Amino acid sequence: MFSVKKSTYGWTFFISLLSLLTTALVIVFHYGLVSFFEAFGCTHTFSYFSPYLVLLMCGTAGISITKRIVKRSLRMVIAFLLFLLPFAAGFALHPIYEDAIFIGGTDFNYNPDALGKNYNLSIIVIPDCPFCKMAIQQSGRWIKEENSSLEVVLCSADSTAGERYLHMLPAGVQLRQAAHPDSLALYSGGSFPAYCARISDHQMRVWSNNEFGPRAVDFITQR
């Protein structure tokens, strides 16, 4: 009887430890897991939520297995350790923002200064903006085979400012200077980079940097 009880607690400890280690790895390598699913061809929205789904599955699997071999009084403790605690930690370190849930953006009448007639998407940037640099570097991964339909628009009157971004442009992505930078800045509400997508020949949609998330990327790339 003693050996059976000892074996039961041993298996409970082993399964709990394995589940906790798995969830810890998921939390630590959160962005790597997202990139893995994106490279595998999954949508950006699914890839964004994949670490949370793995946490849920690990916690649920751990609880389902251990509840068969532990007393009812310990099940709440196991549920807290394997499900609630890891998910809360993952969510605290990697919060789910609004741009992952809603497509967002604001529709405007088409303006060729914001989006060239031969492009489906433009990234509107300003000089010496670290978030703009990140957007340019990531643009090739976002658009993938649609790189030829993407352009970068410099919202600045300084004709030399664009030279700082030239070496960052992915293959097939063009950079041009806005003809009317002051009016163009109004579309983004002063938040850069901004993203402008063609909806139709007469309409475009603009996202500020805070609005542009995985739902918006999927909206653009899957059109």
Residue 36 and residue 192: Cα distance in Å, rounded? Answer: 28
Indicate whether 124 pLDDT > 80: yes
Which whole number is the average pLDDT over 167-181?
83
* % of residues, the chain, pLDDT over 90: 8
| pLDDT one-digit tens code per residue, 35-57 | 888 888 888 899 999 998 888 88
Indicate whether 201 pLDDT > 60: yes
pLDDT value of residue 65: 62
Q: 168 vs 134, 160, 186, 215, CA distance in Å?
A: 9, 15, 26, 25
Q: Bigger pLDDT: 143 or 36?
A: 36
HEC assignment per residue over 65-111: HHCCCCCHHHHHHHHHHHHHHHHHHHHHHCCCCHHHCCCCCEEEECC
pTM, whole model, 2 decimals?
0.75
Does the bond joining 193 to the residue before it have cis omega, within 30 degrees of 0?
Answer: yes
Which whole number is the average pLDDT over 186-215?
87
Most confident of 46-50, 61-65, 95-99: 46-50
Among 176, 135, 130, CA closest to 154: 176
Phi, psi of 108 (to 5 degrees): -135, 165
pLDDT value of residue 207: 92
Q: Bigger pLDDT: 84 or 114?
A: 114
Residue 92 and residue 77: Cα distance in Å, rounded? Answer: 21
Work out the end-to-end distance of the chain between its first and last CA atoms, rounded to an integer number of angstroms: 64
Indicate whether 148 pLDDT > 60: no
Q: 81 vs 8, 10, 181, CA distance in Å?
A: 18, 16, 54
